[in-house]
């Protein structure tokens, strides 16, 4: 598979380069068939401590962008592409923010799966993750054991009426996450494949706790 690359020109920042200095970094990772502008709409509702960078996934779907093909189209192909996208994000960090500390991850749906992949690839590098309506991809990764040792905080929010993420993926994530992270799991009655106002309040609380503990 050809190498992927995060488009530097497509990244949306919440702060100028000068204003980012000395602040923690929060990466936003959108879902399938979406773009970097999607989750950036959450920025006004998030804590002020981090500089926020919303990335565009490298695969053009014809409408939006994706981090990997849908698993229904071939599991091995999806995992290989997710691995290549993980490479691309790590390369982008090395290129654009090599000295960044306190890096957090916030992903929706497929972006939530990518947040898990980044934790598994480089568990020492990321402080926490927020996985919204997302899941963990199957299989083992080299960083899984170290991630479990670190017990990195992970917020996992999902709705009972989400008919996009298949039950098998939810069950796999329910089994995997508590063994590899300090899990804050929230389930929202009647919520579909989206982010609710009440969920956003819980996300704010989780993020504030992470930044307070790092202060």
pLDDT, one tens digit per residue, over 56-68 is 999 999 989 999 9
User: Exposed, middle or buried: residue 148 (CB in 10 Å: 0-12, 13-18, 19+)?
Assistant: middle
Torsion angles phi and psi, residue 157, rounded to 5? -115, 140
Residue partners of 51: CB distance under 8 A and separation at least 6? 13, 14, 15, 19, 20, 23, 24, 25, 26
First to last CA, the chain: 41
pLDDT interval class at 71 (50, 70, 90): confident
Residue 101's pLDDT is 87
Pairing of strands 103-108, 59-60: unpaired
Calculate the average pLDDT of the chain. 95
Distance CA 19, CA 16 (A): 5
- Quick one: angle between helices 110-121 and 75-96, nearest 10? 70
pLDDT digits (tens, 9 = 90+) for 116-164: 999 999 999 999 999 999 999 999 999 999 999 999 999 999 999 999 9
Host H or E run for residue 177:
helix 167-180
Q: Per-residue pLDDT for 72 more than 80? A: no
Which pTM value belongs to this model?
0.97
Q: What's the token pair of residue 43?
A: 């920025």
For a pLDDT cut of 70, what percent of the chain falls above it? Answer: 99
Domains of the chain with CATH codes? 8-14+22-214 (3.40.50.1820)
pLDDT at 214 (0 to 100): 79
pLDDT bracket for residue 213 (50, 70, 90): confident
């Amino acid at each position: 598979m050809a190498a992927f690359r995060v488009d530097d020109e497509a990244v949306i920042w919440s702060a100028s380069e000068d204003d980012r200095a000395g602040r923690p970094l929060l990466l936003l990772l959108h879902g399938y068939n979406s773009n970097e502008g999607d989750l950036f709409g959450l920025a006004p509702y998030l804590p002020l401590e981090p500089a926020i960078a919303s990335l565009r996934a490298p695969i053009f779907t014809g409408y939006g962008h994706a981090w990997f093909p849908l698993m229904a189209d071939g599991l091995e192909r999806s995992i290989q592409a997710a691995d290549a996208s993980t490479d691309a994000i790590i390369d982008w960090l090395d290129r654009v923010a090599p000295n960044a500390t306190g890096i957090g991850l916030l992903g929706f749906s497929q972006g939530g799966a990518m947040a898990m992949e980044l934790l598994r690839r480089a568990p020492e590098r990321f402080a926490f993750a927020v996985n919204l309506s997302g899941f963990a991809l199957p299989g083992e990764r080299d960083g899984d054991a170290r991630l479990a040792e670190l017990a990195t905080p992970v917020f996992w929010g999902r709705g009972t009426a989400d008919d996009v993420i298949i039950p098998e993926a939810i069950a796999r994530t329910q089994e995997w996450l508590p063994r590899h992270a300090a899990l804050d799991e929230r389930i929202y009655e009647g919520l579909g494949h989206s982010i609710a106002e009440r969920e956003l309040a819980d996300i704010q609380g989780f993020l504030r706790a992470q930044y307070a503990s790092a202060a």
